[in-house]
Structure 1
Amino acid sequence: MPATHTQSVPSTSTMAAPAVLSLEARLAAVEAAMTVALDEAAVAYEVRTAHIPTAPVVLADVVTLPLTPTLQPSSPYASPVVALLHRAQQRLLTDGWCAGSQVREDGARCLYGAIRVEAAGDRSLEARGLEVLMDAIRSQFSDADSVPVFNDSWTNGRVPMQMLGQAAALANSRGQ
């Protein structure tokens, strides 16, 4: 009788259970698969678009606006004093804040200088804006004598610019 080769099939009781992967291992496997897929897509894109001629881009042809903003953002307030204080705060944010003078050579301004330039010669509006600003300043700093003295007592513009925002909120609540 010829020898027959029989192969034994393992029983289900002797088969090993599939390994359970941790969340980190599964995420790593998905990341590896996505990296391979993205690399293949990048190569396919390069192959499909290699024949398309490209010309150098001249930046002046693409950018049609000035690179530095020239317009101040419009004020969200209809009230003249609130709008003035908001514009003055925006002026300090864009042009810079300074102490010791109304305006520096580089365009930075103090609180008074920002309000004055934004009032555009309207002395009544300027006075009302300074009055509300002084009320806002005195609500937190009772020893402040004037807007220029308060402005010059700081080494950076963070607090003075915050006071302009608080003054705008105060004028808005007063309906000015």
Structure 2
Amino acid sequence: MNATTAPAASPRTADSAPLTFDERLALAALAIDARIDTEPLNLDDVIRQPAEPHRPATSNPYSTPIAALLHRARMRIAAVGWCQAAAFDEAGAVCPIHAIRQEAANRGQADDACVLLLETIERDFGDETIPAWNARQPNSAPVLLQFDHAAQLAHSRNL
């Protein structure tokens, strides 16, 4: 027999059962450990983490009410999911208009935010309604981007 086909030496006697997988794995780990050069770890070479982990800003970057509302609606869609052809679905995903209505303090604020979102949609895509534009989107990325554009527009107009 050559080295590749020779049975491994077993601490058990010939009449006992063969080694289990876990036992063979433990023996292989010990053999590998014996071959590894185990120099002590130099802690000066270790990258140290900051004492306080970085937390992303959760505050709204907009101080104007409609811009802040559009940002909150965008964050809602990003958090719970986006849907088409319905205001919301059974999983909790929402359409753009429903996200705005959920985040608005009142109906007038929601209407103002929808008008601004529609203005950016008409400018960028030529669609005449938010639902028609929403139905044509392949995924949530363009929807979230359009909310960013609308929030920036509201902010620039001090709305």
User: How does the TM-score come out when normalised to structure 2?
Assistant: 0.64
1:130 is matched with which residue: 90, 106, 114?
114
Describe the SS at the equivalent of 1:166.
Answer: helix
Structure 1 residue 73: deviation in Å? 2.9
Deviations 1:84-104 (A, max 9, x none): 000011111111111011111
Moved over 6 A (4+): none
Equivalent residue runs for 1:1-150 within 5 Å? 39-42=38-41, 73-120=58-105, 122-142=106-126, 144-150=127-133
Structure 1 residue 75: deviation in Å? 1.1
Structure 1 residue 160: deviation in Å? 1.3
Structure 1 residue 79: deviation in Å? 0.6
- 1:159 paired residue number: 142
- 1:173 paired residue number: 156
Q: Show structure 2 runs of 5+ residues with no match.
A: 1-35, 42-56
Q: Which amino acid in the other structure matches residue 146 of structure 1?
A: T
Q: Which amino acid in the other structure matches residue 115 of structure 2?
A: E
Count of residue correspondences? 111
Structure 1 residue 145: deviation in Å? 1.6
CA distance in 2, matches of 1:127, 1:73: 25
CA distance in 2, matches of 1:79, 1:99: 28
TM-align CA RMSD:
2.3
Describe the SS at the equivalent of 2:40.
Answer: helix
Structure 1 residue 74: deviation in Å? 2.6
